[in-house]
A and B are shown apart, each in its own frame.
Chain A
Amino acid sequence: MIVRFALRRVIMMVPVLFIVSVIVFMMMHLTPGDPVRLMMGKSGASGEEVEKVRDQLGLNDPLPVQYVHFITDLATGNLKSIRTQQPVTQEFFDRFPRTLEITLLALVVATVLGFVFGIIAATHQNTWIDSLAMVVSLLGVSVPGFWLALLLIFVFAISLGWLPATGTQGLKSLVLPVTVLAVEEIALIARLVRANMLEVLRDDYIRTARAKGLRERTVLTGHALRNALLPSITLLGLNFGYLLSGAVIVETIFARPGIGRLIVEGILSKDFPLVQGAVLLTAIIYLIVNLVTDISYGFVDPRVRH
């Protein structure tokens, strides 16, 4: 049954991916700028020579033809970046683990802290502890990521010298990027957990558990928490996508390789194959993550069966 469900979802991915690919293709081609002119900017090439290269790259073909070439090239692994002439899949997967490591770590940190803040707030509802927890997490979501990144670099890398400002060497280089990414997520998770906990704590079975004489802690962890967990799992999938996009700023400021940065730099150089391919690959990953999240929802909540 799971298999049927998964299969149905995989089939539904196709129209979604088709729409995504068309949208990104149109956006790239209909906005101003030409990758060959940008690349050959200092080459002293004449207009004719630039046109020749454009012909070679198929950039003068009608748009539908270019679209078909794009899809077939991507499927056969032949899609090459205009700027570097390297295969797009290679450029993407070389960098993907880097984005993944900060995204996943940020997800873990944000989830853990989000839960902690949410539970504390829920169990001390309407006290100053509740307000404090909510305000702190709200600050996290309001502060702009790039500002926080530069501030943390200034304090921890330059002034105190405890952590590296940039780069990818060692676990220390993960601390600041992951912090910046996680901070934005904590508020969202905290507020959701708090709301779910409050709802669950009002339910009858909680009253029964308390009446049975169970310790408050057992009530919380054994009963309330598990049920409050459920909506957060759905959120995990969405958060993953959100974090992938937040990674762009973090990757640029901390000078880390990653797919966010790859796509942004591709956009700036109008590298059609690279941006189109990378966005499509990201979309596929995102859809798979959501599929996994939905399936695991079924595992975690026995009430839901596919």
Chain B
Amino acid sequence: MSDPSGKASLDHSVSRRRFLQLAGALGLAIPAAAPGLRFIQPVAAQDGESGGEIIVGLNYEMDNLDPAVTPYAVSHWVMMNVFDTLVWRGVDGAFYPGLADSWEINEDGTIYTFKLKTGVTFHDGTPFDAESVKFAFDHIVDPETRSGFASSLLGPYDHTEVIDASTAAIHFSAPYAPFLDSASQSFLAIPSPTAVQADREAFLRNPVGTGFMKFVEWIPNDRITLVRNDDYNWAPPIFDHTGPAHLDKISFRFYLDNSTRLAALEAGDANLIQSPLLNEIPRLSESADFLTNVPLNPGIPETIFCDTTVAPTDDLTVRKALNISLDRELLAQIGMFGQARPAYGPLWESTPFYSAAVESLYPYDPDAAKQMLDEAGWVEGSDGIREKDGQRLSVSLPATDFTTSFDELAQGVWRDVGIELELIPMDGAAADDAINNSEVNLYNNSWVSSDPVVLNNLFLSKNIDGGYNWSKWASEELDQLLEAGERAVDDAERTEIYAKVQAHIMENALIVPLYGNPGGAIAYQNRFENVKQDFRNYLWLYDVTIGS
């Protein structure tokens, strides 16, 4: 029988009314007790010049901050404040002293001897010396470490010889030309051996280095906080000052969604963001409050790789036609909102040992494309798409977020010469699977690198099975050239070798280069001065000051 007045109670001690009261109290208490619900005062600059905080909005959250382990470019953005490298690569491409004051390379490029700076300490007080360098590199090649990227930068590393406390010699089992460039990347930065040995797993989320910033905390999916290292006194000569940094604090926030990242900048949640939406850049750069910089990344530009084992991209004529019928100027202008420039070869023009000869290989000429296809027996069908021996001239490309600005333009442009581009919507994981299993003809990617040795990953025949040779191209000639390029310590020799490499790749039309990758673009509030980007377009915040 119902009792609407609520006075009935159960056999147990909790009455209905009491229960509802408790539920109410609990409902209010939970949000208040939830950790992290705190008010944080924004850090203001102490005066016009020194102090203050910068909040950087990243487009991806890295997996960890151990330079030896993490494979992500975005990790570099954080690590380069917390760690130092032996050498630094200036914007001019030359190498400058970092933790090493000077260095010598033996004649055949198998031994690099570094004279190290003295008086340098890690954030945990451990002194930096040659043993730290040995530990760093051994840690990278240790199979327990499961290095995601750093180990490839070390190439044929053999061992490090500690000659004395401030001299270390790195020995390679074969000549290794790219080593100085590798050593300038934060993936080969020197961590505190004490911290890593104390707890290797904890170190993944708690980096300790010699950098101008000290790591404070990493709240997953939320932010990373760094504070100034007041003992810092060993800045490389490429910067405007020495001694501690001007900024008190650097924070990183993670905004995967492009619109959110932009909104964060405009609402002031972030002071500087990585890769702003390209179509918004003109508006931001014209605005009185923001500055933008859109450098194009060295390494492999935004490129379409052709799987040479799948019809019809197994046909050289087809691959050449794809290249010749593509109006790259138009693509860069419209597809990338004028923020990119055309690429003509496997290396972007700012990459060392770029060969300009590739620029004249496939000038835009749709009529020539039609003619070459006609001559090769590709006959136009009734719907305008060509055919030969029952094979339709249809090429498939996984359509992911990265290809959208290109997709529809290319479809139209290629249809005009009788090639059908089939776009298959997929996420990154599925696309990777598809090209790996040769289920599609084309695959889009780019790769930031400041040394052409990066081409080995993509074109050495040993990287076809389960590796990243997306073109599935096996050529002894190319293999030999690439391996020679890695071993040639003499610049003139490397220039010659890589000219041949680029010519080989483009003459065989293994790829369809599109445009320089504007992934290093940044937009920031203009009260932040001296924001710089390095040779690879990563951020340099050491000299930053906050104006009024």
Closest to A261 in B: B221
Contact B254 A255 (CB under 8 A): yes
Instruction: Provide the B231-271 mask, 1 if CB < 8 A to any CB of A, else 0.
Output: 00000000000000000000001111101100110111110
Contact B222 A101 (CB under 8 A): no
In the complex, which residues of chain B have a beta carbon less than 8 angstroms from the beta carbon of A40?
71, 148-149
Whether A252 contacts B267 in the complex (CB less than 8 A), given A39-B148, A261-B221, comes out as no
Whether A168 contacts B432 in the complex (CB less than 8 A), given A47-B464, A84-B63, comes out as no
Task: Find B269's partner among A31, A45, A165 (CB 8 Å cutoff).
Answer: A165
Closest to B255 in A: A255
Contact B428 A268 (CB under 8 A): yes
Segment with Cβ contacts to A, from B15-23, B46-54, B106-114, B537-545: B15-23
Asked if B396 lies at the interface with its beta carbon under 8 angstroms from chain A, I say no
Task: Find B260's partner among A51, A86, A166, A223 (CB 8 Å cutoff).
Answer: A166
Q: How far is the CA of A258 from the CA of B205 in the complex (A)?
A: 19
Q: How far is the CA of A83 from the CA of B146 in the complex (A)?
A: 12
Contact B432 A268 (CB under 8 A): no
Whether A47 contacts B151 in the complex (CB less than 8 A), given A33-B433, A83-B63, A167-B222, comes out as no
Asked if A127 lies at the interface with its beta carbon under 8 angstroms from chain B, I say no
Asked if A150 lies at the interface with its beta carbon under 8 angstroms from chain B, I say yes
Asked if B119 lies at the interface with its beta carbon under 8 angstroms from chain A, I say no
Report A153-177 residues with CB < 8 Å from chain B CB: 153-154, 157-158, 161, 164-171, 174
Q: How far is the CA of A41 from the CA of B71 in the complex (A)?
A: 8
Asked if B436 lies at the interface with its beta carbon under 8 angstroms from chain A, I say yes
Contact B257 A252 (CB under 8 A): yes
Asked if A269 lies at the interface with its beta carbon under 8 angstroms from chain B, I say yes
Closest to B66 in A: A85
In the complex, which residues of chain A have a beta carbon less than 8 angstroms from the beta carbon of B467?
45-47, 50
Contact B19 A296 (CB under 8 A): yes
In the complex, which residues of chain A have a beta carbon less than 8 angstroms from the beta carbon of B25?
none
Segment with Cβ contacts to A, from B5-13, B330-338, B385-393, B515-523: B5-13
Contact B267 A153 (CB under 8 A): yes
Whether A256 contacts B40 in the complex (CB less than 8 A), given A85-B201, A158-B267, A161-B268, comes out as no
Task: Find B30's partner among A101, A153, A205 (CB 8 Å cutoff).
Answer: A101
Asked if A94 lies at the interface with its beta carbon under 8 angstroms from chain B, I say yes
For residue B140, give the distance in angstroms from its CB to the closest CB of chain A: 12
Chain A contact patch, size range: 35 or more
Closest to A47 in B: B466
Asked if A34 lies at the interface with its beta carbon under 8 angstroms from chain B, I say yes
Contact A269 B266 (CB under 8 A): no
Q: How far is the CA of A85 from the CA of B447 in the complex (A)?
A: 25
For residue A180, give the distance in angstroms from its CB to the closest CB of chain B: 13
Contact B201 A43 (CB under 8 A): no
Asked if B102 lies at the interface with its beta carbon under 8 angstroms from chain A, I say no
In the complex, which residues of chain A have a beta carbon less than 8 angstroms from the beta carbon of B466?
37, 46-48, 50-51
Whether A299 contacts B14 in the complex (CB less than 8 A), given A95-B220, A101-B37, A226-B6, comes out as yes
Contact A262 B267 (CB under 8 A): no
Residues of chain B whose beta carbon lies under 8 Å from any beta carbon of chain A: 1-6, 8, 10, 12, 14, 16, 19-20, 23, 27, 30-31, 34-40, 61, 63-64, 71-73, 146-149, 151-152, 201, 204-205, 219-223, 253-257, 259-260, 263-264, 266-270, 427-430, 432-434, 436, 447, 454, 456-457, 462-468
Chosen A-B contacts, 10 in total, with CB atoms closer than 8 Å, are: A43-B151, A46-B462, A46-B463, A153-B260, A164-B269, A165-B264, A167-B222, A252-B260, A255-B253, A299-B20
Q: Which 8 A-B pairs have the closest CB atoms?
A: A33-B429, A47-B466, A257-B221, A44-B152, A165-B267, A32-B433, A157-B267, A47-B465
